[in-house]
Amino acid sequence: MKDIIIFGASGFGREVAWLIERINTVSPTWNILGFMDDNESIQGEIINGYKVIGNTKDVSKYPNAYFVCAVGASKIREKIINNMKNINPNIKFGTVIDPSVEMSDLVAIGEGTIICAHTIITVNIEIGKHVIINLDCTIGHDAVLNDFVTLYPSVNVSGITNIGHASELGTGLQIIQGKKVGDYSVVGAGSVIVKDIPDKCTAVGSPAKPIKFFE
């Protein structure tokens, strides 16, 4: 079994620990060494049976371990990953996929990606590095999810869509075929995307429309 450390000890981090336990019940793969978190107040605590063993500065203490970042916010996750790489350029990232996920062999998945239970991923799909696909999502043919994308629970991504770098799609969102979400954009829960969403905006509604732009 390979050692793994979960960065982020909040709610989603605990869910990722459970995901890894589910993987191990089917095929023993990962030995969870514990959590890491930059919250100094929880250092040394035991959370759901696993100890908080350090923060970002400590990644170099575990040169043989794999890491997975369980922080839902895309831009924060990207910053954490970049900091970890700066501290240890040789850091290794694990990819964890719940055993209940239904997925063809025609799917490319980057390192550090987390795919949660009961998601369906069909054919000819590209999923980047450090992507989070939460519970009960669907992803259709020829979709592209770029690095650091976050899909919250029950997002439906139709075919031939392109979800931009470090964008976030809120719970229950739907996007019709052939549409694009720009880089670093956030689209709110329950939204329906029927037109392309530009870069660096917050969009909401049905149909989804930008309500705020940011740098």
Give the residue extent of every domain in the chain. 2-94, 97-202
Q: What is the pLDDT of residue 167?
A: 98
Could you give the CA distance from residue 116 to residue 128 in angstroms, rounded to a whole number?
Answer: 15
Question: So what CATH class is 97-202?
Answer: mainly beta
Q: What is the pLDDT of residue 156?
A: 98
pLDDT in tens, the chain (215 residues): 999 999 999 999 999 999 999 999 999 999 999 999 999 999 999 999 999 999 999 999 999 999 999 999 999 999 999 999 999 999 999 999 999 999 999 999 999 999 999 999 999 999 999 999 999 999 999 999 999 999 999 999 999 999 999 999 999 999 999 999 999 999 999 999 999 999 999 999 999 999 999 97
| Distance set, CA 174 to CA 45, 141, 155, 202 (Å) | 39, 15, 6, 16
DSSP per position, 111-154? TT-EE-TT-EE-SSEEE-TT-EE-TT-EE-TT-EE-TT-EE-TT
| Distance set, CA 186 to CA 38, 64, 90, 140, 149 (Å) | 24, 35, 31, 20, 10
Q: What is the pLDDT of residue 23?
A: 98
Q: What is the pLDDT of residue 215?
A: 78
- Collapse the DSSP code of 175 into the 3-class scheme (helix H, G, I; strand E, B; otherwise coil) and give the result: strand
Per the confidence metrics, is the pTM higher than 0.85?
A: yes
Could you give the CA distance from residue 122 to residue 118 in angstroms, rounded to a whole number?
Answer: 13
Question: So what CATH class is 2-94?
Answer: alpha beta
Could you give the CA distance from residue 94 to residue 84 in angstroms, rounded to a whole number?
Answer: 14
The two tokens of residue 149 are: 């994308």
Q: Do 2-94 and 97-202 come out as alike in CATH topology?
A: no
- Collapse the DSSP code of 207 into the 3-class scheme (helix H, G, I; strand E, B; otherwise coil) and give the result: coil
Q: What is the pLDDT of residue 4?
A: 98
Q: What is the pLDDT of residue 139?
A: 98
